[in-house]
Amino acid sequence: MRIQEVIQKTGLSRRTIYYYIDQNMITPRVNPTNGYHDFSEKDIQKLFLIRKLREADLPLADIRSILKQPRTTPFYLHKQLNVLQKQLMSIQKAISEMDRLTSQLPVCQSLDQLTDMLEETHFHPDDSARYQMKTRDAQLLAQYLWMTYLDTPVTEYQQFLWQKITNHTLEHAETDLKTMSRYLQSLSPEQIDATNINQYFRNQKIISLTEAEYPDFVEELKHSLLAFASDPLQQEKWNLLYQPVIHPVALFCVSSSGWMREFHPAYRRYYENTHTCCRMLKHFMDSPQGNDLKKTLDKALHGNCDVRTGYYGELEVAATFHKSIYALLTPEEIRAFLSEEGIQGS
């Protein structure tokens, strides 16, 4: 269909539609005979979604991510809800304080009088507002961590389990998961999307593993870990983020895994296959044949890897570290981030 019909159907201006084409938000076919754009129903659908999401002030980068991967929608909606909630609470607090000031100070006689009044004025949100923000942070984090498994309609029991997981996340949002939450918010949508895609395909591969394929996957883990151990840059990033981010998230995921295994059968297969293969790898490293690999990893990780009975998932994190969300920033950017969080980088 032609541009005039698109304008009527979407309510968008010609200029706005062409802007979205320039931004590659939509890619209508170009008629080779006259050079006009030929819009499809899918283009109309995307324009409708863009218009609606822009009404909620979602950034174009976030909308682009949603159009590419609709399953990420809850994550980006929660992210924007967090932004809007912060703005709303700041505005509400400012309005309340300014109302109080104008009623108590109808005529400002001097700077001294104004100073005295402002000493008792606080424009920042109070503790109750911060609690609301903590709740939003927990929802955002839960959506990110389990995004791969939130792609199907849920039953009433699954909704109950998800509430358990969200509440559990809330309990940790201001303690061991606080730095991870801030880390997520410091990344761009493009960075998050890139690692989401990598993680999705990795998860699917692990989910589909059969028992006969375990030995080959363990060999793949060995090669990946040796590659990690030969890359000083990745090791530096790992050792900077391990204590404040990687290890707390790994422990939290283990503590939530019981609910998640009930919530989604695919996660159950992922969990069981990951732990079975990593346990096989650990047994190899504890054997005389695997001693060299163990020494190489110990040297690379500086002891920053928790491999205990019943949990070996950090080996999988290290094996795929270079494609993970933890490897997105440079060591200098990581140190700057940790400094802002009041954490001393190693």
Cα–Cα distance for residue pair 319/199, rounded to 1 Å: 12
Residues 79 and 176 in one domain: no
Q: What is the rounded average pLDDT of the residues 318-326?
A: 93
Confidence check: pLDDT of 234 > 80 = yes
Residues 119 and 185 in one domain: no
Residues 230 and 280 in one domain: yes
Does residue 60 sit within a domain?
Answer: no
Give the phi and the psi of residue 30 in degrees, each rounded to 5.
-100, 125
Please give the pLDDT value at position 41.
93
Confidence check: pLDDT of 270 > 90 = yes
Confidence check: pLDDT of 345 > 60 = no
Residues 88 and 237 in one domain: no
Give the phi and the psi of residue 126 in degrees, each rounded to 5.
-90, -170
Cα–Cα distance for residue pair 173/169, rounded to 1 Å: 6
Q: What is the rounded average pLDDT of the residues 311-331?
A: 91
pLDDT in tens, 105-157: 656 667 777 777 777 777 766 555 454 556 767 777 888 888 888 777 778 89
pLDDT in tens, 239-268: 999 999 999 999 999 899 999 999 999 999
Cα–Cα distance for residue pair 166/23, rounded to 1 Å: 36
Does residue 284 sit within a domain?
Answer: yes
Does residue 106 sit within a domain?
Answer: yes
Closest to 261 measured CA to CA, from 280, 275, 282: 275
Amino acid, res. 45: Q
Does residue 178 sit within a domain?
Answer: yes
Cα–Cα distance for residue pair 36/2, rounded to 1 Å: 8
Q: Is residue 342 very low, low, confident or very high in pLDDT (cuts 50, 70, 90)? A: confident
Does residue 66 sit within a domain?
Answer: no
Q: What is the rounded average pLDDT of the residues 82-98?
A: 80
Residues 41 and 103 in one domain: no
Q: Is residue 296 very low, low, confident or very high in pLDDT (cuts 50, 70, 90)? A: very high
Domains in the chain, number: 3
Residues 302 and 234 in one domain: yes
pLDDT in tens, 209-223: 999 999 999 999 999
Of 30-34, 107-111, 204-208, 335-339, the poorest mean pLDDT is in: 107-111
Residues 9 and 33 in one domain: yes
Residues 157 and 283 in one domain: yes
CB within 8 Å of 329: residues ≥ 6 apart: 237, 337
Please give the pLDDT value at position 190.
81
Does residue 134 sit within a domain?
Answer: no
Confidence check: pLDDT of 161 > 60 = yes
Burial 21-30 (b: 16+ CB within 10 A, else e): beeebbebee
Does residue 64 sit within a domain?
Answer: no
Q: Which has more pLDDT, 137 or 317?
A: 317
Does residue 345 sit within a domain?
Answer: no
Q: Write the CATH number for 14.
A: 1.10.1660.10
Please give the pLDDT value at position 191.
84
Residues 111 and 155 in one domain: no
Amino acid, res. 207: I
Residues 32 and 113 in one domain: no
pTM over 0.85: no
6 to 29, 39, 40, 106: CA distances (angstroms)? 14, 7, 9, 54
Cα–Cα distance for residue pair 60/68, rounded to 1 Å: 12
For 112, other C-beta atoms within 10 Å of its C-beta total 8
Cα–Cα distance for residue pair 296/280, rounded to 1 Å: 18
Average pLDDT, the chain: 87
Residue ranges making up the domain that contains 336: 144-340
Q: Please give the share of the chain, as a percent, with pLDDT higher than 70.
A: 92
Residues 160 and 212 in one domain: yes
